[in-house]
């Protein structure tokens, strides 16, 4: 097949904030490598939904056929109408386009009804396609906070000062380079909650007036103030969990949360936001 011209929006999508490495790679591959229509649909359709316009109406499978609700006609007779799982369209957004890695259908293009769907359906003939372009999945577009108040409400002032919250609100994520979004607040799992309960046995708060920065760690012999309070859970290694660390240093106005791979020292790091979530800052 003759190589085709890339869609006009492909270079523009490269500037979209928060694109995954896979999505960036697909866009760059289309720009740098001459491709046939099937090759480009496959490259883009594995990373993006792809909107396709057809030269003439085509019939697509868009769902599973089913029986509709019971209805009563003018004569009082009840019946059900079969609802076909197909639709005639002149344009359509394909959630994902792929080709089987081996076996039946290898080398042919298929599409799925859902992004993670298992069953694929044949793409329409390539000669029926007029134009196409990748589109951003709106469900995955980062949603920013509507206001500072909405961002502040995610935090418990026991674990972070309001001055620090204001600073975070104006900063950008080290991972995406964009403002923090609700999806940057990650849930604390059962082991994290267990570690937090241990931490709270001594911790009073970042702005408390108690000696030692708001907490007292008691030794077995006497009451002794420590500059660092830390609670840790060490997993048994392998795939049996994560190493969790919650810590606070005297004079700082935030509490740190770390979830690391067992015995590795690498993982996900952030700031404890409340008793159920932490703000994801970076991966290491």
Return the residue matching tokens 């502040």: 152
152-161 mean pLDDT = 92
φ/ψ (deg, to 5) at 10: -60, -50
Indicate whether 15 pLDDT > 50.
yes
More confident residue, 65 or 258: 258
Closest C-alpha among 51, 52, 53, 48 to residue 136: 48
Residue 185 — very low, low, confident or very high, per pLDDT cuts 50/70/90? Answer: very high
Average pLDDT over residues 239-264: 82
Strands across the sheet containing 267-272 = 185-187, 277-283, 267-272, 256-260, 243-249, 228-233
- Tens-place pLDDT, residues 82-91: 777 888 999 9
Report domain extents, the chain: 9-140, 148-283
* β-pairing verdict for 120-122 and 110-112: antiparallel
Q: Which residue has the tokens 């039946």?
A: 104
- pTM passes above 0.85: no
| CA-based R_g, the chain, Å | 27
- C-beta separation of 252 from 206 below 8 A: yes
Q: Can you list the positions of beta strands (E) in the chain? A: 50-61, 66-72, 78-83, 86-94, 96-98, 110-112, 120-122, 129-134, 185-187, 217-218, 223-224, 228-233, 243-249, 256-260, 267-272, 277-283
Mean pLDDT of the chain: 82
Confidence of residue 3 (pLDDT cuts 50, 70, 90): low
- Does residue 17 carry a pLDDT above 70? yes
Per-residue model confidence (pLDDT) at position 146: 82
Task: Classify 237 in phi/psi space as left (phi over 0), alpha (psi -120 to 50) or beta.
Answer: left
pLDDT above 80: residue 60: yes
pLDDT recorded at residue 215 = 57
Q: Evaluate whether 1 touches 32 at the Cβ level (below 8 Å).
A: no
């Amino acid at each position: 097949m003759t190589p085709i011209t890339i869609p006009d929006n492909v270079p523009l999508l490269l500037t979209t904030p928060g694109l995954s490495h896979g999505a960036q790679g697909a866009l760059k591959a289309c720009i740098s490598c001459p491709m046939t229509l099937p090759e480009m649909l496959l490259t883009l359709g594995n990373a993006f939904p792809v909107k396709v316009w057809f030269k003439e109406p085509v019939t697509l499978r868009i769902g599973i056929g089913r029986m509709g609700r019971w209805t009563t006609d003018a004569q009082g007779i009840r019946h059900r109408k079969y609802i076909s799982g197909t639709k005639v369209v002149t344009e359509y957004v394909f959630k994902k386009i792929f080709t089987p890695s081996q076996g039946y259908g290898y080398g042919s293009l298929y599409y799925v009804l859902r992004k993670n769907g298992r069953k694929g359906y044949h793409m329409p003939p390539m000669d029926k396609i007029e134009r196409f372009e990748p589109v951003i999945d709106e469900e995955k577009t980062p949603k920013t906070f509507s206001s500072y108040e909405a961002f502040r409400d995610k935090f418990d002032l026991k674990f972070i000062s309001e001055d620090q919250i204001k600073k975070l609100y104006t900063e950008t994520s080290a991972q995406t380079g964009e403002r923090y979004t609700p999806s940057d607040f990650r849930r604390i799992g059962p082991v994290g909650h267990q570690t937090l309960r241990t931490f709270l046995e001594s911790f009073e708060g970042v702005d408390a007036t108690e000696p030692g920065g708001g907490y007292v760690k008691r030794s077995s012999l006497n009451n002794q103030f420590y500059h660092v309070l830390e609670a840790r859970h060490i997993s048994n290694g392998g795939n049996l969990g994560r190493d969790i660390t919650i810590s606070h240093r005297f004079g700082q106005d935030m509490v740190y949360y770390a979830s690391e791979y067992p015995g590795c020292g690498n993982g996900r790091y952030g700031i404890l936001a409340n008793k159920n979530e932490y703000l994801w800052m970076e991966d290491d």
